[in-house]
Amino acid sequence: MVDKIKTADEAVKDLKDGMTIMVGGFMACGSPENLMDAIVRKGVKNLTVIGNDGGMPPTENSSARGIGKLVAAGLVSRLIASHVGLNPQVGEGMMCGKLGCDLIPQGTLAEAIRAGGAGLGGILTPTGVGTIAAEGREIIEVDGKKYILEKPLKADFAFIRATHADKFGNFMSAKSTKTFNYVMAMAAETVVLGTEQLHEVGELDADLYHMPGTFVTYIVGGEIKWQI
Amino acid sequence: MVDKIKTADEAVKDLKDGMTIMVGGFMACGSPENLMDAIVRKGVKNLTVIGNDGGMPPTENSSARGIGKLVAAGLVSRLIASHVGLNPQVGEGMMCGKLGCDLIPQGTLAEAIRAGGAGLGGILTPTGVGTIAAEGREIIEVDGKKYILEKPLKADFAFIRATHADKFGNFMSAKSTKTFNYVMAMAAETVVLGTEQLHEVGELDADLYHMPGTFVTYIVGGEIKWQI
Amino acid sequence: MADIKHRIAKRVAQEFKDGYVANLGIGLPTLVSNYLPEGVDVILQSENGFTGISGAAEPGKEDVDVINAGAGYVTYEKRACFFDSALSFAIIRGGHLDATVLGAMEVDEKGNLANWIVPGKMVAGMGGAMDLVTGAKKVIIAMQHTQKGAHKILKECTLPYTALNVVDLIVTEMGVMEVTEDGIVLKELHPDFSLDDIKAATGCELIISKDLKPMEVE
Amino acid sequence: MADIKHRIAKRVAQEFKDGYVANLGIGLPTLVSNYLPEGVDVILQSENGFTGISGAAEPGKEDVDVINAGAGYVTYEKRACFFDSALSFAIIRGGHLDATVLGAMEVDEKGNLANWIVPGKMVAGMGGAMDLVTGAKKVIIAMQHTQKGAHKILKECTLPYTALNVVDLIVTEMGVMEVTEDGIVLKELHPDFSLDDIKAATGCELIISKDLKPMEVE
């Protein structure tokens, strides 16, 4: 069996300036913090980041979290997300022209990533028809109803987080940490999985894992629960 | 909490002649046999059945299984499936004109049902371009590549099977019985879930269930493992 | 103001039927769950990925793996089920929510809704709002009738749209209004206000229901 | 004939690299897994919904919840993972299979494939075949070179297509052929046959590789 287990720094070795990456999680809940730290250490520039949001900014009591770490370090030149209101640093970056931001309805974002992973040429969604979300998109009419044709999203890297994974990369993300982690596992060239628990193959029942390890390129252990 | 638990016969009370139904499973593995039996007892006619295949025909040693029960009883006038080769009774029905059959690539069938459940106007698939599977379908070009626009599928009823369910209808289908059961749970007006194990709410860890009970209209216990 | 919020939430709660699956926006809409009528069991969905969301977590007892769509730590019911964003929005877009309750900046008589961009202010993003109002069977807007005296219920929205032709019901501190093909019909008027009060506070014609009732919340 | 099947399966197995994810069709293609080279670990996908499919189940020890795509009871590896049909075909269509091995009725020099309809015979359905050949990174056709003497490798398929421009490699008992932009290139010829033999058995021009090798399977 191919050995997928790496340190976080090894896992980002081939990450390069200007690449497009996906980061799982929702407001940093379910984001792989070890992997974000490794990206910051590597210091790649001009990343396009696809994620639900801009993560959490640094506060007096804590460092930034999730995508917020990349934003705080100035590594992000473009963010494709559904909501960035909880990270004022994204707004600041947008104001001064350093950070471009494409806002996409959350459900459309999830489907576009899934379509990228599932080999679809796109999906037709009624969400956003007649609004700014339709700008630059083709409108397709099916049985008299209008839909936006949303094209698939793919990335060079996906950084995702599991609660339980085995050494082949089969994984599950507990409770509300699933979010974008499952669809992003399908949609990138290199998929790096940060996990809290790392199990031997066959140690847990197969049906406890929600996603197959065949999607996962590298596995990095040592994710810990966020301490409030 | 609304009481969803019914007998199989109660669950099919509102099933009517000419309706469109979905049946989960794959070659009857993962099909809800109790519910099939109840439909046969009710004896509705001219059903359009959406499923992966035609189920299994009766043999010398055993009765028909899965969709095969409905075919054997002559209740099906149209079958929308990906493969019907394992049930010769489907072929016989097609030969004598009693049974119309629309064949759809298996992955397209799964996506079309999912699209029906997910409120999408359709999906663009590269599968089948330039073949009979493209007949009657619009071809959409995205970034220079051709795709079939496959429209969503929906049904009046879905009959699906779980291994574990709780009394709210949260459920999971073990191992390779998942098949079409998960997408069909989303795509019908009335969703009837046949389950092997029926648990109290909260008895199992929430993450053991893969699909939320909010999709499920009725729950019928008493499914048993197929005896070879 | 607190009083007004609870009045609106109480009235919205009366719209809920037993067995409903609903999504409540952050803020005022979340209050609705406190006022569900006796015998009306509603399961709430959280768009980040679960059904069975319950109240805020007690400080010190937070499960950091369980947040709501506003990043607040919350608790969940025993019947909760967790899923990923793709399935979460399949529920939302696919018509599997009986109702969603959200605030609005503007609503117009065609049922158009604007609740995400204020020109000149930083745009936070639509998040899940566009999907919610497009997909839910019943879209209920819960809001104050005016914004510092300015009309919010209009002949035509002036702000960028969240979605077109989606609003079914508007509940404010002044009354309950249904969006119909003919325009906005006032169904209930709160006893604190006169017909002239609500007409003056509304930026489009209000059709007065033949069956106009007092808005009762207690 | 049994000999020929194993010869083909053995040669196909040499195409597999360590870490491959692959889907093997029912019949001859399934034999491939018996002949993987030392140190080459391949995980097999079953389109009804799992990765880690293993051999047929022993009679009397079947797990009725675990079948292959041909409805046979099978076993699974420890590292198996089970999923639904939507995810299974996301894997297949999405390019997550390194290789798929299938039989064919006809293949032509454009890489077009026909393997699902025989006119006049009952149509069983394409099942997952169209998705497999469209999505897999490498499509390997494993088949007998001719069908009772009739050509199967053609200038242009005569039977209804399964998919267009998808076949990468053809392995028969006679040789190994790569489908290129210029046509079908014979890369390896089995020592049992001459160039004239294989040319006569092929319904289109065969480009002979400058680097033609013997097809070695032992």
Smallest Cβ distance to A175: which of B142, B174, B207? B207
| Mean pLDDT across C41-66 | 97
Residues of B in contact with C135 (CB under 8 A): 119
Q: Do A201 and D79 make contact, defined as CB atoms within 8 angstroms?
A: yes
Measured between alpha carbons, how far is C133 from A127 in angstroms, rounded to an integer? 9
Q: With a cut of 90, say whether residue D119 has pLDDT above it.
A: no
Q: With a cut of 70, say whether residue A73 has pLDDT above it.
A: yes
pLDDT at A157: 99
pLDDT at C217: 85
DSSP state of B26: B
Q: Do D71 and B27 make contact, defined as CB atoms within 8 angstroms?
A: yes
| Mean pLDDT across A212-224 | 98
pLDDT at C1: 61
Is the separation of the CB atoms in D44 and D22 below 8 Å?
A: yes
Q: Do A126 and B125 make contact, defined as CB atoms within 8 angstroms?
A: no
Domain around D131: 2-214
Q: Do A124 and B119 make contact, defined as CB atoms within 8 angstroms?
A: no
Q: Neighbours of C (≥3 Cβ pairs closer than 8 A)?
A: A, B
How many CB atoms are located within 10 Å of the residue B37 CB?
Answer: 17
What residues of chain B score a pLDDT lower than 50?
none
How many CB atoms are located within 10 Å of the residue B66 CB?
Answer: 29
Nearest CA in chain C to B187: C94
Determine which one of D15, D38, D47, D178 is catalytic: D47
Residues in Cβ contact with D140 at an 8 Å cutoff, skipping those fewer than 6 apart: D12, D15, D99, D100, D101, D102, D168, D169, D170, D171
D100 touches chain B (CB under 8 A): no
Q: With a cut of 90, say whether residue A184 has pLDDT above it.
A: yes
Phi-psi region of A179 (alpha: psi -120 to 50; beta: other; left: phi over 0): left
Tell me the average pLDDT of chain A.
97
Determine which one of C15, C47, C106, C109 is catalytic: C47
Chain B closest-CA separation from residue D196 CA (Å): 34
Cα A40 from chain centroid?
16
Chain C closest-CA separation from residue B203 CA (Å): 8
Q: Do B121 and A111 make contact, defined as CB atoms within 8 angstroms?
A: no
Q: With a cut of 70, say whether residue D49 has pLDDT above it.
A: yes
Contacts with A, D 173-212, CB within 8 Å = none
Measured between alpha carbons, how far is B64 from C4 in angstroms, rounded to an integer? 63
Residues of A in contact with D43 (CB under 8 A): 168, 214
Residues of B in contact with C36 (CB under 8 A): none
Residues in Cβ contact with C193 at an 8 Å cutoff, skipping those fewer than 6 apart: C174, C175
Residues of A in contact with B145 (CB under 8 A): 121
Number of H helices, E strands in chain B: 6, 11
Chain C closest-CA separation from residue B14 CA (Å): 19
Q: Do C65 and A29 make contact, defined as CB atoms within 8 angstroms?
A: yes
Measured between alpha carbons, how far is C30 from B223 in angstroms, rounded to an integer? 39
Measured between alpha carbons, how far is A213 from A200 in angstroms, rounded to an integer? 13
Per-residue pLDDT tens digits for B28-67: 999 999 999 999 999 999 999 999 999 999 999 899 999 9
Per-residue pLDDT tens digits for A150-172: 999 999 999 999 999 999 999 99
Q: Which residues pair with B193 in a beta bridge?
A: B160, B219
Closest CA to C216 of C186, C188, C197, C195: C188
Measured between alpha carbons, how far is D164 from D112 in angstroms, rounded to an integer? 4
Task: Tell me the residue type at D26.
Answer: I
Contacts with A, C 5-34, CB within 8 Å = none
C54 touches chain B (CB under 8 A): no
Nearest CA in chain A to C51: A176
Per the annotation, the verdict on C188 as an active-site residue is no
Q: State the best of A108, A111, A123 to mutate against chain B, taking most chain B CBs within 10 Å.
A: A123
Closest CA to D102 of D61, D142, D56, D152: D142
Chain D closest-CA separation from residue A68 CA (Å): 30
| Mean pLDDT across A102-121 | 98
Closest CA to B84 of D161, D24, D126, D113: D126
Residues in Cβ contact with C84 at an 8 Å cutoff, skipping those fewer than 6 apart: A110, A178, A179, A180, A181, A182, A183, C49
Q: Greater confidence, B122 or A61?
A: B122
Nearest CA in chain B to D66: B176
Nearest CA in chain A to B137: A142
| Mean pLDDT across A108-117 | 98
D80 touches chain A (CB under 8 A): yes
Q: Do A126 and B121 make contact, defined as CB atoms within 8 angstroms?
A: yes
pLDDT at D135: 98
Q: With a cut of 80, say whether residue A3 has pLDDT above it.
A: yes
Cα A122 from chain centroid?
19
Smallest Cβ distance to A118: which of D18, D21, D90? D90
At CB < 8 Å, which residues of chain A contact B? Answer: 111, 115, 118-126, 140, 142-143, 145, 147, 149, 151, 172, 174-175, 206-208, 210
Q: Angle CA(C73)–CA(C77)–CA(C80) in degrees, nearest 5?
A: 95
Q: State the best of B31, B96, B106, B209 to mutate against chain D, taking most chain D CBs within 10 Å.
A: B106
Q: Do A212 and D81 make contact, defined as CB atoms within 8 angstroms?
A: yes
D81 touches chain B (CB under 8 A): no
| Secondary structure (3-state) at B56 | strand
**ipTM of model over 0.95:** yes
pLDDT at D189: 98
How many domains does chain C divide into?
1
Measured between alpha carbons, how far is C185 from C109 in angstroms, rounded to an integer? 9
Interface B–C counts its CB contacts (< 8 A) at: 64
Q: Which CATH superfamily is domain A8-121+153-201+209-220 in?
A: Glutaconate Coenzyme A-transferase (3.40.1080.10)
| Mean pLDDT across A54-72 | 96
Q: Provide Rg for chain A, Cα atoms.
A: 17
Chain D closest-CA separation from residue A194 CA (Å): 18
How many CB atoms are located within 10 Å of the residue C122 CB?
Answer: 15
In CATH, what number is assigned to the domain containing residue D169?
Answer: 3.40.1080.10
Q: State the best of C18, C43, C81, C166 to mutate against chain B, taking most chain B CBs within 10 Å.
A: C81
pLDDT at D120: 86
Supply the DSSP string of C114-178, one letter for each residue: E-S--TTSPP---TTHHHHHHH-SEEEEE--SEETTEE-EESS--SPPSBSS---EEE-SSEEEE
Note the pTM of the prediction, 2 decimals. Answer: 0.98
Smallest Cβ distance to C81: which of B118, B120, B206? B206
Q: Could you tell me the residue ranges of all domains in chain B?
A: 8-121+153-201+209-220
Strand C183-189 relative to strand C175-180, pairing:
antiparallel
Q: Confidence class of residue A52 from pLDDT cuts 50, 70 and 90?
A: very high
Smallest Cβ distance to B121: which of A115, A124, A207? A124
**% residues pLDDT > 90 (chain A):** 98
| Mean pLDDT across C19-41 | 95
Q: Do C91 and B212 make contact, defined as CB atoms within 8 angstroms?
A: yes
Contacts with B, D 121-150, CB within 8 Å = 122-131, 134-135
CA count, 13 A, side-chain hemisphere, C24: 25
Measured between alpha carbons, how far is B32 from B26 in angstroms, rounded to an integer? 11
D103 touches chain B (CB under 8 A): no
Instruction: Characterize A117-147 residue by residue with b for buried, 16 or more Cβ atoms within 10 angstroms of its Cβ, and e for exposed.
Output: bbbbbbbbbbbbbebbbbeebeebebeeeeb
Looking at chain C, which runs of residues are DSSP E strands? 21-24, 43-46, 50-56, 74-82, 99-102, 106-108, 113-114, 138-142, 146-147, 150-151, 153-154, 169-171, 175-180, 183-189, 206-214
C73 touches chain B (CB under 8 A): no
For residue A121, report the phi and psi dihedrals to the nearest 5 degrees. Answer: -80, -5
Residues of B in contact with A175 (CB under 8 A): 206-207
Residues of D in contact with A118 (CB under 8 A): 86, 89-90, 93-94
Chain A closest-CA separation from residue C163 CA (Å): 6
pLDDT at A1: 86
